[in-house]
């Protein structure tokens, strides 16, 4: 079974690439973030034509997440139970579903903006709520994973130059402590295994030739419980999908499971 996560940075702008990638990659379940669409704009029909169905949490031009599956779609949860609000709104940042033998969450963790910004405190509260929401599934016997854009680089090796992030979000002790709390809940980082290149970044800024110069970050993560990690037989970042005109600024992260 092939499961992936991809911050697509507008599902409408990237639709031809999404459909082509699903066909070429053989992915069974894809967790997608940053849809930037209304529910009515989501391409259900185009995905059905390829044999996929989708659980969607979206409200408009910002944020939005989905689970796209051709392995079943049951027990859908839309939104983060107990999650905080920001500026009196519950942002569409989480959706969960059971896809055959595996349960997944697709999450788009708040960016945080700046360390002294209210959005950063919101980010930490959101991650705390995520830990509480997934604790039961994380401790269970069924393969389970939280996939998505975490907007946190787990270690200094997960950014192209640690000094470039001094005083910035994504690398702070508080954010990394939140990831440690997820691991203590029974999840582990499934993808930090030897890959085909030294730095398996997943995001490169569009500006200043970020991708050609490999000035990236690894912030798109797959955190799985013990049964999920045990079933994982391979993992990779599809850098090829980051290339070319009209690409997202993130690359898909793919995990193969023996289930």
**Which residues on adjacent β-strands are paired with residue 69?**
29, 53
Round to whole Å and give the CA distance between 133 and 209.
38
Distance CA 247, CA 13 (A): 9
Query: Domain 2-257 is classified in which CATH homologous superfamily?
Result: Endonuclease/exonuclease/phosphatase (3.60.10.10)
- Hey, where are the domains in the chain? 2-257
pLDDT of residue 25: 97
pLDDT the model gives residue 208:
87
Do 258 and 101 form a contact (C-beta atoms < 8 A)?
A: no
- What does the pLDDT read at residue 197? 54
Residue 130, helix vs strand vs coil = helix
pTM of the predicted protein model: 0.96
- The residues, any chain, with a CB within 8 Å of residue 8's CB and separated by 6 or more, are 14, 18, 32, 33, 34, 35, 248, 250
Residue 133's SS3 state is: helix
Cα(187)–Cα(135) distance, integer angstroms: 9
**pLDDT in tens for each of the 259 residues of the chain?**
999 999 999 999 999 999 999 999 999 999 999 999 999 999 999 999 999 999 999 998 889 999 999 999 999 999 999 999 999 999 999 999 999 999 999 999 999 999 999 999 999 999 999 999 999 999 999 999 999 999 999 999 999 999 999 999 999 999 999 999 999 999 999 986 555 555 689 999 999 899 999 999 999 999 999 999 999 999 999 999 999 999 999 999 999 999 9
pLDDT at 60: 87
How far is the C-alpha of 231 from the C-alpha of 224, rounded, in Å? 10
């Amino acid at each position: 079974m092939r499961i992936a996560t991809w911050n697509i940075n507008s599902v409408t702008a990237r639709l031809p690439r999404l459909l082509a990638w699903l066909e070429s990659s053989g992915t069974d379940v894809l967790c997608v973030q940053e849809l930037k669409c209304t529910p009515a704009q989501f391409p259900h029909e185009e995905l059905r034509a390829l044999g996929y169905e989708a659980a969607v949490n979206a409200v408009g031009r910002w944020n939005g997440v989905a689970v796209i599956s051709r392995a079943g779609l049951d027990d859908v949860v839309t939104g983060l139970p107990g999650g905080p609000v920001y500026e009196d709104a519950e942002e569409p940042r989480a959706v969960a579903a059971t896809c055959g033998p595996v349960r997944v969450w697709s999450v788009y963790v708040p960016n945080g903006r700046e360390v002294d910004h209210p959005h950063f405190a919101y980010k930490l509260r959101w991650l705390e709520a995520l830990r509480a929401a997934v604790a039961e599934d994380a401790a269970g016997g069924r393969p389970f994973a939280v996939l998505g854009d975490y907007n946190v680089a787990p270690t200094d090796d997960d950014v192209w130059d640690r000094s470039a992030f001094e005083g910035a979000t994504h690398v702070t002790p508080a954010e990394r402590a939140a990831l440690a709390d997820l691991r203590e809940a029974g999840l582990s980082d499934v993808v930090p295994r030897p890959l085909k290149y030294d730095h398996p970044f997943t995001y490169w800024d569009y500006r200043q030739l970020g991708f050609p110069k490999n000035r990236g970050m690894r912030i798109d993560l797959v955190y799985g419980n013990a049964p999920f990690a045990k079933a994982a037989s391979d993992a990779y970042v599809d850098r090829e999908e980051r290339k070319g005109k009209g690409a997202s600024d993130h690359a898909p992260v793919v995990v193969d499971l023996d289930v």
